[in-house]
Amino acid sequence: MMLGANSDIYVAPATGGIPQRLTTSPGIDTDPSFSPDGSKIVFESDRGGSQQLYVMNADGTGQRRISFGGGWYAAPVWSPDGGLIAFTRRGQDGRRIGIIKPDGSDEKVLTTGPGDEGPTWAASSREVLFQRTGAGGRNGLYRVALDGSEPRQLTTPQDGSDPDWSGVMD
Residue 82 CA to its chain's centroid (Å)? 13
What does the longest C-alpha to C-alpha distance in the chain come to?
46
CA 17, 23, 26, 29 dihedral sign is negative
**Where are the extended beta strands (E) located within 2-155?**
2-3, 6-7, 10-11, 20-21, 29-34, 40-45, 52-57, 64-65, 72-78, 85-91, 94-100, 108-109, 116-121, 127-133, 139-145, 152-154
Task: Report 119-158 residues binding other proteins (CB under 8 A).
Answer: none
Residue 23 interacts with other proteins (CB under 8 A): yes or no: no
The closest of 97, 107, 106 to 131, measured between CA atoms, is 97
Phi, psi of 106, deg, nearest 5: 55, 45
Q: How many residues bind other proteins (CB under 8 A)?
A: 18
Our CB check for other proteins shows the closer of 74 and 85 to be: 74
**57-65, 88-96, 120-128, 143-151 -> range binding other proteins (CB under 8 A):** 88-96
Binding mask 32-61 for other proteins (x = CB under 8 A): ------------x------x----------
Choose which of 22, 74, 122, 128 interacts with other proteins (CB under 8 A).
74
Choose which of 10, 11, 28, 109 interacts with other proteins (CB under 8 A).
28
Residue 107 interacts with other proteins (CB under 8 A): yes or no: no
**4-12, 34-42, 59-67, 141-149 -> range binding other proteins (CB under 8 A):** 4-12
Our CB check for other proteins shows the closer of 109 and 126 to be: 109
Residues that bind other proteins (CB under 8 A): 2, 4-7, 28, 30-31, 44, 51, 74-75, 88, 90, 95, 117-118, 162
